């Protein structure tokens, strides 16, 4: 099979160069096994070259790379258009080809040192030099690619290009800080706090207003980004809410609290018809809110009577209220999915399973959604403030399921169940519910008992 023509290769090159990093990485993995004189070989070599080039680019611009997101128009955080990164890299290749080549050699030396288990050389001086050139070019260069980057950034937000250049100005400080960031957020002590404070001072020594940019850039390297609250707390020695609110960094906790408000709305809109996936997603949002509230509480000295403390307390109460309402809905729907009927008018009315109609798939689906939601909350119930309700609903549901299963099995054994297949289907529903209320071992026990009673072979006829 012949290789692609030069014209087609150029088309592929254009497509690959404009693709996001994730797509390029996926193509590289997909084409890794192609070999020989095939059409895909030329494409593979092209993709591998692009992947190596992007690794170098992302290494040079490591401090700011996470800030290039989408079209850069997010008003809630400091971001820039993703296309601007590609533009400044192309412009830098034209402006400083020798320095780019030296950076590539340094990156290759790092890869080689790691492969033979040796200490890699320090590339920061070469990389920081390129970043400095880029910041200057954004402000002064008439090269087409730099002008394109400026236009993209300024179109996304007023003064966007200067904001990017200002981020590049403190990139050497952030590059050193990123290397120590894992320790700063996981091992907070006097040493890590002192190191974080020193890095912060270095950034504001470059520019007095660099503080917020410094933390925005660090947040881009954290998952989740609001973990930067720990670094802010360390730098400011766990500030009071009033002091932090009046500072230039007050926007960080405000942003987290606004995100909590939006997430609470999403939890309240959980669609019971959405199935287990929707239940798990909503539970994930509950976990997210509990983690965010926890970070706010441990990072800031709050006053529950006023300001942020009062707002956060209200958010905790709202979270508990919406979760508890859903837990009660789960109990009602599970009970409705395993219907019972009764007779008589005395206070001691007899109840037994209603086994004359098939299970209602809609009710079962809704109950499964909410029981999945409840099941996924078991690890965050204590922190979320709804552990008592979660435990109570779980206990009541467990008791209800146990009673229902015993009643159905008893009706089958005594011959009172009109349809064994229907009885078995209800027992399977009860088993699935019990797996969510308790665990899969409890569910499997019900399934085995149901099979033994409902699917047992009738005794052989001796006269046959």
Domain boundaries in the chain? 180-236, 261-454
Q: What is the largest CA-CA distance in the chain?
A: 104
Q: How confident is the model at residue 54 (pLDDT cuts 50, 70, 90)?
A: confident
Handedness of CA 35, 41, 44, 45 (dihedral sign): positive
Q: How far, in Å, CA of 334 to CA of 401, rounded?
A: 9
Given a cut of 90, whether residue 131 has pLDDT beyond it is yes
Cβ within 8 Å of residue 453, ≥6 positions away:
409, 412, 413
Q: How far, in Å, CA of 366 to CA of 245, rounded?
A: 43
Residue 68 sits at φ, ψ, to 5 deg, of -90, 100
User: Is residue 239 within 8 Å of residue 196, measured between CB atoms?
Assistant: no
Specify the higher pLDDT residue, 341 or 194: 194
Given a cut of 50, whether residue 464 has pLDDT beyond it is no
pLDDT tens-digit series, residues 239-257: 999 999 999 999 999 999 9
Given a cut of 60, whether residue 457 has pLDDT beyond it is no
Four-CA torsion 387, 363, 426, 376, nearest 10 degrees:
-30
Specify the higher pLDDT residue, 374 or 306: 374
How would you classify the pairing of strands 350-353 and 340-343?
A: antiparallel
Given a cut of 80, whether residue 29 has pLDDT beyond it is no
Q: Which two tokens stand for residue 400?
A: 């209800």
Q: Which two tokens stand for residue 20?
A: 């996001």
User: Is residue 193 within 8 Å of residue 235, measured between CB atoms?
Assistant: yes
User: Is residue 280 within 8 Å of residue 377, measured between CB atoms?
Assistant: no
Contacts made by residues 337-341, CB under 8 angstroms, sequence distance 24+:
337/363, 337/364, 337/367, 337/429, 337/433, 338/400, 338/401, 338/404, 338/426, 338/429, 338/430, 338/433, 340/404, 340/407
User: Is residue 282 within 8 Å of residue 272, measured between CB atoms?
Assistant: no
What is the pLDDT of the chain when averaged over all its residues?
A: 88
Of 113-117, 146-150, 232-236, 361-365, least confident by mean pLDDT is: 113-117
Q: Which parts of 68-189 fold into alpha helices (H)?
A: 82-95, 97-115, 124-140, 144-156, 160-169, 171-186
Q: How far, in Å, CA of 281 to CA of 225, rounded?
A: 20
Cβ within 8 Å of residue 455, ≥6 positions away:
420, 424
Given a cut of 70, whether residue 2 has pLDDT beyond it is no
Given a cut of 50, whether residue 463 has pLDDT beyond it is no
Handedness of CA 237, 238, 243, 248 (dihedral sign): positive
Q: Span 364-380, mean pLDDT?
A: 95
> Which residue do the tokens 């730098």 mark?
235
Cβ within 8 Å of residue 22, ≥6 positions away:
none
Interhelix angle for 211-219 vs 190-206, to 10°? 120
Q: How far, in Å, CA of 13 to CA of 5, rounded?
A: 12
Q: How confident is the model at residue 416 (pLDDT cuts 50, 70, 90)?
A: confident
Q: How far, in Å, CA of 311 to CA of 300, rounded?
A: 13
Given a cut of 90, whether residue 39 has pLDDT beyond it is no
CB atoms within 10 A of CB 265: 11
User: Is residue 34 within 8 Å of residue 40, measured between CB atoms?
Assistant: yes
Residue 4 CB-density burial (10 A; 0-12 exposed, 13-18 middle, 19+ buried): middle
How many helices and strands, by DSSP H and E, does the chain display? 21, 2
Specify the higher pLDDT residue, 73 or 16: 73
Query: What is the b/e burial string over 11-35, where b = at least 16 CB atoms within 10 angstroms of the residue's CB?
Result: eeeeebeebebeebeebbeebeeee
Q: How confident is the model at residue 460 (pLDDT cuts 50, 70, 90)?
A: very low
pLDDT of residue 459: 44
User: Is residue 156 within 8 Å of residue 72, measured between CB atoms?
Assistant: yes
Q: How far, in Å, CA of 104 to CA of 59, rounded?
A: 10
pTM of the model: 0.84
Given a cut of 50, whether residue 462 has pLDDT beyond it is no
Give first-to-last CA distance, the chain, whole Å. Answer: 72
CB atoms within 10 A of CB 304: 12
């Amino acid at each position: 099979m012949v290789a692609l023509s030069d014209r087609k290769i150029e088309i592929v090159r254009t497509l690959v160069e404009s693709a996001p990093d994730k797509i390029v990485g996926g193509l590289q993995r997909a084409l890794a096994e192609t070999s020989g004189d095939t059409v895909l070989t030329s494409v593979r070599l092209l993709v591998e070259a692009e992947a190596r080039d992007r690794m170098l680019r992302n290494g040079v611009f490591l401090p700011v790379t996470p800030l290039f997101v989408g079209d850069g128009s997010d008003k809630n955080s400091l971001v820039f258009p993703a296309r601007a990164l590609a533009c400044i890299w192309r412009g830098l290749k034209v402006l400083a080809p020798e320095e780019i080549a030296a950076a590539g050699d340094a990156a290759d030396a790092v890869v080689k040192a790691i492969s033979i288990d040796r200490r890699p050389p320090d590339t920061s001086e070469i990389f920081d030099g390129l970043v400095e050139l880029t910041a200057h070019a954004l402000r002064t260069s008439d090269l087409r690619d730099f002008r394109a980057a400026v236009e993209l950034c300024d179109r996304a937000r007023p003064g966007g290009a200067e904001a990017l250049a200002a981020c590049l100005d403190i990139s050497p400080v952030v590059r050193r800080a990123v290397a120590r960031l894992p320790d700063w957020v996981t091992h907070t002590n006097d040493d890590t706090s002192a190191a974080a404070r020193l890095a912060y001072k270095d950034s504001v020594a470059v520019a007095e207003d660099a503080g917020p940019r410094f933390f925005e850039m660090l947040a881009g390297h954290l998952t989740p980004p609001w973990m930067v609250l720990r670094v802010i707390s360390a730098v400011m020695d766990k500030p009071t809410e009033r002091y932090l609110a009046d500072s230039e960094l007050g926007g960080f906790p405000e942003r987290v609290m606004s995100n909590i408000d939006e997430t609470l709305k999403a939890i309240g809109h959980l669609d019971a018809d959405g199935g287990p996936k929707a239940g798990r997603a909503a539970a994930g949002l509950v976990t997210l809110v509990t983690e965010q509230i926890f970070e706010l509480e441990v990072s800031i000295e709050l006053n529950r009577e006023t300001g942020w403390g009062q707002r956060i307390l209200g958010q905790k109460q709202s979270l508990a209220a919406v979760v508890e309402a859903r837990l009660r809905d789960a109990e009602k729907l599970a009970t409705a999915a395993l219907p019972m009927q009764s007779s008589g008018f005395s206070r001691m009315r007899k109840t037994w399973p209603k086994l004359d109609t098939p299970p209602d798939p809609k009710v079962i689906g809704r109950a499964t959604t909410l029981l999945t939601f409840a099941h996924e909350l078991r690890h965050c119930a204590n922190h979320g403030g709804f552990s008592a309700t979660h435990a109570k609903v779980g206990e009541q549901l467990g008791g209800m399921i146990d009673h229902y299963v015993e009643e159905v099995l008893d009706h089958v054994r005594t011959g009172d169940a009109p349809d064994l297949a229907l009885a078995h289907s209800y027992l399977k529903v009860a088993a699935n519910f019990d797996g969510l209320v308790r665990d899969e071992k409890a569910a499997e026990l019900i399934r085995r008992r149901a099979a033994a009673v409902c699917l047992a072979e009738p005794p052989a006829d001796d006269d046959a």
